[in-house]
Structure 1
């Protein structure tokens, strides 16, 4: 059983960035940098952090919105999507990448991390994870419907991590022709690419506005299988 979540910090040139840490029951394991959706390190992202720790990984989820006045949305309100888009719109992308790379360094320096590290993200975090994998040394990349990836395709040749990309076929933000462009750009012997029929954007998020139960379950099974093969827990 994984440990309870603890709040730690990751150093950046502008000060300490808050981050959430989960340890596996063994106390040690490979590291996974977990990057948030546009909604911040929400209850959903925290639940996925705990899920990954239960698999045997040391998980760190940095507060990428830490420089903003608000770092999460109010999930009890009906305008959750509008809140998230407003927050994301105030993020400076190069700074977010630098902060994520700093968090990766902090994760790798933790004594509980043994072996290689991965970067994993959802939506906003899926694109951010792709960018981190292009500029930092990680063994594994897992990206769920990375919304920024279409604008980051020139970096595809710099990503040498074993990569898993997951998309829904009914994504209103990443249409099928764009998904196909992504697939072609990232295609290679170390890349796995899965489409989930009828699923929209953010389908793994349990919020009723987004959730597609069948796609979520299938994608998580693909994720755990991929991690077991590419980032095994010893």
Structure 2
């Protein structure tokens, strides 16, 4: 069977379904019209969605790493998290919070945390769904749970995460963050709410309000996808506010790339060239700011 043709309109419809108001039934009806049949639509959905069965870039049992599931004090309750650091660590290292997409702490984000640790950091991937019991195996259920999160408590849990890592025994006291999609917006808000955060990297993340920008102390690295009209609509106002308050930041827009271009488990949206370029910039930035 030939590989289904995936159009930009299909990708946009999926983005509307996963981030805005379109429900699954409405999405499938729209996709069926675009694809020409229900069978074609059914074949396309797995290519648009993240594939949990995709192979990890860094194996869970990679001997170069020490990895464990932990809990630590959050705001009003424990936070679940995945903690990874180099197995041969010498001295104290910079620490990086890896913030998940709107699917929770899944296998892909655990893989990203391992990638960060291999670059010479302590990586902590919190489960921000912990107040709701933690990330479920069903990613559609996980996505629905995000609407139940209290934004104020999420922000407080982020601040608590920074505090935990500042005092982590194998860390050097410098804390950075990297977030994707929902996590990109959360990384931006963490920069607003945590004055002790040294560096924040947001991949296609929603921008904070202009009036919140003066609270930011961290250096910012902002990655955007050229085709991501929904998120990109806020770039100019964010940039203007950052400039007005003389903040340290860099913005990169990757032409031709879609929202979630870094997620290599999504066949239709992953853009290797953009992902590799953004990742190289991210690691260089974190090494500079967390040394």
What is the RMSD computed on CA atoms of the aligned residues?
Answer: 2.0
Given that 1:120 and 1:143 are in contact with CA atoms closer than 8 Å, whether structure 2 keeps it comes out as yes
Q: Is the partner of 1:41 in helix, strand or coil? A: coil
* Structure (1 or 2) with the greater helix fraction: 2
Q: Is the partner of 2:120 in helix, strand or coil? A: coil
Aligned pairs (5 A) from 1:1-234? 2-24=64-86, 25-26=88-89, 28-69=92-133, 71-72=135-136, 74=138, 83=141, 85-136=143-194, 137-147=196-206, 149=207, 151-175=208-232, 177-187=233-243, 188=246, 190-206=248-264, 207-232=266-291
List gaps (5 residues or longer) in structure 2: 1-62
Q: 1:152 to 1:72 in 2, by over 3 A?
A: farther
* Deviation at residue 73 of structure 1 after TM alignment: 5.3
Deviates more, 1:119-128 or 1:161-170: 119-128
Using structure 1 for the length normalisation, give the TM-score: 0.86
d(CA) in 1 for partners of 2:247, 2:155: 26
* Deviation at residue 140 of structure 1 after TM alignment: 0.8
d(CA) in 2 for partners of 1:45, 1:163: 21
* Deviation at residue 116 of structure 1 after TM alignment: 1.3
List gaps (5 residues or longer) in structure 1: 75-79
Given that 2:95 and 2:290 are in contact with CA atoms closer than 8 Å, whether structure 1 keeps it comes out as no
Q: What is residue 77 of structure 1 aligned with on the other side? A: none
Larger Rg: 2
Q: 1:210 to 1:68 in 2, by over 3 A?
A: farther
Given that 1:40 and 1:73 are in contact with CA atoms closer than 8 Å, whether structure 2 keeps it comes out as no
Aligned length: 223
d(CA) in 2 for partners of 1:174, 1:204: 15
Given that 2:167 and 2:173 are in contact with CA atoms closer than 8 Å, whether structure 1 keeps it comes out as no
Using structure 2 for the length normalisation, give the TM-score: 0.71
* Deviation at residue 189 of structure 1 after TM alignment: 5.6
Task: List per-residue Cα deviations over 1:41-74 (Å, max 9, x = no partner).
Answer: 1222111111111111111111100122551453
Q: Is the partner of 1:173 in helix, strand or coil? A: helix
